Amino acid sequence: MHAQIVRGEPGSCPICGMDLVEKKAPPQKAQKPEEKKILYWVAPMDPNYRRDEPGQSPMGMELAPVYDEGVETGDGDYPAISINPAVTHNLGLRTAKAALQDLQIEIRTPGIVDYDETRISHIHPRAEGWFEKLHVRAEGDPIRAGDVLGDFYSPDILAAQVDFLVALNSSQRGKLDSARNGLRLLGVEEATIKQIEKQRQTQNTVPVISPASGIITRLGVREGMYAVPSSETFAIADLDHVWVKVDVYEHQIAALKSGLDAEIRVPAWPERVWRGKTEYIYPQLNARSRTLSVRLSFANSDHALKPNMYAEVVIQAAPKQQVVTIP
C-alpha cells in the first residue's frame, strides 16, 4: 500500500502493518552478439589456398570463411592456434616448458640368439684313421671337458708309439723328447702318453678327449668311419655365454658404440630380463635393408637362451648432451 517504504530484508510496513512484498528487478534486454569479422576465405580441402573474398576453390568447392577469434597472429601473418578449454580438458592435454637437458636414447630392435663363436671347439684328427668306437650318440648331447668322445685307430699314431718305446729304451735324451713331441703333434693326450710310458706297450686305439664343456653341435663321424685331418669330426659349443645379433637402422648408428648396456626378453620367458653388453659393431651396412649388424653378449648359465630364439632387444645408447626437451 505504501510504495515509498523500501527495506533490504523481509518485514512489515510501519504505517499499515502489512507484510512487505518482494519486488523483482525488470528483465534485462538480451545483448546482441557481436558479429565476428571475416579474415579471409580458404579452400575446405586445402587450407593453404586463401582468398580475400568469397569464391570457389580449384576443386570447385565453395570457399569457407575464417573468422577473427580475437587472437594474435603467428609467424607469416597466420593466425595463432587456440584450443577450446573444454576440448583441452577432454583430451587431457598438458603443457610444460621446454628445457635443455641430457636425453637418454633407447634403440629397440628384434634380435636372434646365436652361439658365441669364440666358444665353439672344432675337433679334427691329426692323422688318418678309423673311429673304432663313439661315446656320444647324436648332435645335441651334452658333454663335459675331459670326457672321451671316441676311440681312434691310426697307423701313423701306432708307428709313433713304437718310436716312443724304442726311445725309452735308449740312453739318448734328445731322441726321447723328439718321440714324445711326435705323439703330441699327432693329438695324443698327455695322460695317454704317460700310460704308454708306464705300461711300456702300445695302444691300438687312443681316446679322443673333449677340450671343452658344452653340447655337440656337429657329429661328423659314426663308428667305423674313416677320418682324415681335413674332416671335422666334432664341434662343441659352450652355451654359458651366447650372442644376440640385431640390425640397427642407419639413422641410429651415431648413438652406437661397444660396451653399451643392453637387455633382452624372449617369448618363452616374457617375465625374465637378461642384461648384457654390445660387443661388436660390424663394419658394413646391408645394402638392401640399410641396417648395420650389431653383436651383443649375454651370460646364460642356466642355458635358458637357445640358439635361434627370437628376442626383443633394448640398447641403452649414449645420451645426447643438452638438447631441447619437453619434460
Residue that is written with C-alpha cell 633407447 in the block: 106
pLDDT at 171: 75
Q: What is the number of helices (H) and of strands (E) in the chain?
A: 4, 17
Do residues 284 and 250 make contact, with C-beta atoms less than 8 angstroms apart? no
Q: Return the closest-CA partner of residue 157 out of 133, 175, 131, 138.
A: 131
- Output 61 or 315, whichever has higher pLDDT: 315
Residue 78 pLDDT exceeds 90: no
Neighbours of 189 (CB within 10 A): 17
**Rounded Cα–Cα distance for residues 191 and 207 (Å):** 10
**Rounded Cα–Cα distance for residues 265 and 273 (Å):** 5
Q: How far is CA 164 from the centre of its chain?
A: 56
pLDDT at 286: 92
Q: What is the mean pLDDT of residues 51-77?
A: 74
Q: What is the mean pLDDT of residues 128-134?
A: 96
Residue 40 pLDDT exceeds 90: no
Q: What is the mean pLDDT of residues 17-40?
A: 68
Residue 8 pLDDT exceeds 90: no
Give the tens place of pLDDT for each residue, 170-191.
Answer: 878 889 999 999 999 999 999 9
Average pLDDT, the chain: 87
Q: Where residue 73 falls among pLDDT bands split at 50, 70, 90?
A: low
CATH for the stretch 105-116+239-325 = 2.40.30.170
Considering the chain, what percentage of its residues have pLDDT values greater than 70? 88
pLDDT at 95: 79
Residue 155 pLDDT exceeds 90: yes
Residue 4 pLDDT exceeds 60: yes
Enumerate the domain spans of the chain: 1-95, 105-116+239-325, 119-237
Architecture of domain 119-237: Beta Barrel (2.40)
Residue 237 pLDDT exceeds 90: yes
Hey, do 105-116+239-325 and 119-237 end up sharing a CATH topology, with the first three levels equal? Answer: no
253-to-14, 284, 290, 325 alpha-carbon distances in Å: 95, 12, 11, 21
**Rounded Cα–Cα distance for residues 273 and 269 (Å):** 9
Do residues 79 and 39 make contact, with C-beta atoms less than 8 angstroms apart? yes
Considering the chain, what percentage of its residues have pLDDT values greater than 90? 60
Residue 313 pLDDT exceeds 90: yes
Q: Return the closest-CA partner of residue 311 out of 283, 282, 280, 273.
A: 273
Give the tens place of pLDDT for each residue, 135-151.
Answer: 999 999 999 999 999 99
Q: What is the mean pLDDT of residues 239-266?
A: 94
- Output 227 or 2, whichever has higher pLDDT: 227
Give the tens place of pLDDT for each residue, 195-224.
Answer: 999 999 999 999 999 999 999 999 999 999
